[in-house]
A and B are shown apart, each in its own frame.
Chain A
């Protein structure tokens, strides 16, 4: 790989933009294709599919190799609560770049959350700089609409790959009414996972954390399945 191409690739990765590197194996020729530039590439259909699947592999009957570079998944936990104390370290072990947001400074303390990035601010203030995107999962866990709702609105607008919200069906029904009143369509609101987490009978905060993390991993690795199950529920 040429150093200039490698440097461009690393810059795209650092900026959290998806891109592909195509290597013609016979000649060793390489090109970097940004997600926005796929249409102009001779292998456009293959590249589109590779990016959608997030899967690198051989193409053009083995004559080329397509390397897919997708930003590392991030997890934003809204609420420095008991569930987050279990969920944050588990998510970090699983490879999620994890951040906790909670404007309540009594909750968002380094003592309660060692080794995790903390944003002790309101969502509207902190989220523009954090930069929600399609490679970020958001779990709203405060039970407080003043904190959860703005974060959910931002996550819906940014098309985060997973959006979950803690609360009973009744709590969630009220939440949907509020968000609908703010202009969100029923289709958009269906993207919120609630009650949050896989149905494994989780009882303790740590068990709920496992259920939530499992649901997030499913959304990352098997997006179609999550959609199908969501529609059936």
Chain B
């Protein structure tokens, strides 16, 4: 079952207060069929733990990886996943939709 959005935002705050490196990913835009609505969150820490979702489990792995660089650099970035993008197909947004995700550090 998906975590409630408040759990995700509460975890982001708690994890940061514990001294972990933390990034917050947010669904900015969706096209076609997309499993999670705009505004959905995924929180990631510097050990690769994560809570919440930005898709139905299809691209979370790639977002968690990108989040490590965001935590290290402190610079937010925008990611896009969709069937038009071969790399994205590899990570598997198999529902045929496209999504844009914003990944930012919690600083």
A58 with B6, Cβ < 8 A, contacts A3-B106, A6-B16, A6-B106 known: no
Query: Binary interface profile of A, 5-30, with partner B (CB < 8 Å = 1, else 0)?
Result: 01101100100000000010100100
B58 within 8 A of A: no
Query: Closest residue to B40 on the A side, CB-wise?
Result: A56
Interface size of B by CB at 8 A reads 23
In the complex the two chains form, is B13's CB within 8 Å of A57's CB? no
A72 within 8 A of B: yes
For the complex, what is the distance from the CA of A55 to the CA of B4, rounded to whole Å?
16
Residue among B9, B26, B75, B76 making CB contact with A6, cutoff 8 Å: B9
Query: Closest residue to A2 on the B side, CB-wise?
Result: B107
For the complex, what is the distance from the CA of A67 to the CA of B12, rounded to whole Å?
16
Query: Binary interface profile of A, 58-100, with partner B (CB < 8 Å = 1, else 0)?
Result: 1000000101100010000000000000000000000100000
A1 within 8 A of B: yes
In the complex the two chains form, is B10's CB within 8 Å of A67's CB? no
Q: Which residues of B contact A2 (CB under 8 A)?
A: 106-107
Query: Binary interface profile of B, 2-16, with partner A (CB < 8 Å = 1, else 0)?
Result: 001010011011001
A9 with B9, Cβ < 8 A, contacts A2-B107, A58-B28, A72-B4 known: yes
B2-40 contacts to A (CB < 8 Å): 4, 6, 9-10, 12-13, 16-17, 24, 26, 28-29, 37-39
In the complex the two chains form, is B12's CB within 8 Å of A65's CB? no
Q: Which residues of B contact A28 (CB under 8 A)?
A: 75-76, 104
Query: Closest residue to B105 on the A side, CB-wise?
Result: A1
For the complex, what is the distance from the CA of A23 to the CA of B102, rounded to whole Å?
10
Q: Count the A-B residue pairs with Cβ separation under 8 angstroms: how many?
A: 54
For the complex, what is the distance from the CA of A67 to the CA of B38, rounded to whole Å?
9
For the complex, what is the distance from the CA of A7 to the CA of B12, rounded to whole Å?
9
In the complex the two chains form, is B13's CB within 8 Å of A65's CB? no
In the complex the two chains form, is B9's CB within 8 Å of A10's CB? yes
Q: Which residues of A contact B (CB under 8 A)?
A: 1-3, 6-7, 9-10, 13, 23, 25, 28, 55-58, 65, 67-68, 72, 95
Q: A7-B13, A57-B38, A65-B26 are in contact. List 14 more A-B contacts (CB 8 A).
A: A1-B105, A1-B106, A3-B106, A6-B12, A6-B13, A10-B13, A28-B76, A55-B38, A55-B39, A56-B39, A57-B29, A57-B39, A58-B28, A72-B6
> Can you pick out 27 interface pairs between chain A and chain B where the beta carbons lie within 8 Å of each other?
A1-B12, A1-B104, A1-B107, A2-B107, A3-B13, A3-B16, A3-B17, A3-B106, A6-B9, A9-B9, A13-B6, A23-B102, A23-B104, A25-B28, A25-B78, A25-B102, A28-B75, A28-B76, A28-B104, A55-B38, A56-B39, A57-B39, A58-B28, A67-B26, A67-B39, A68-B39, A72-B6
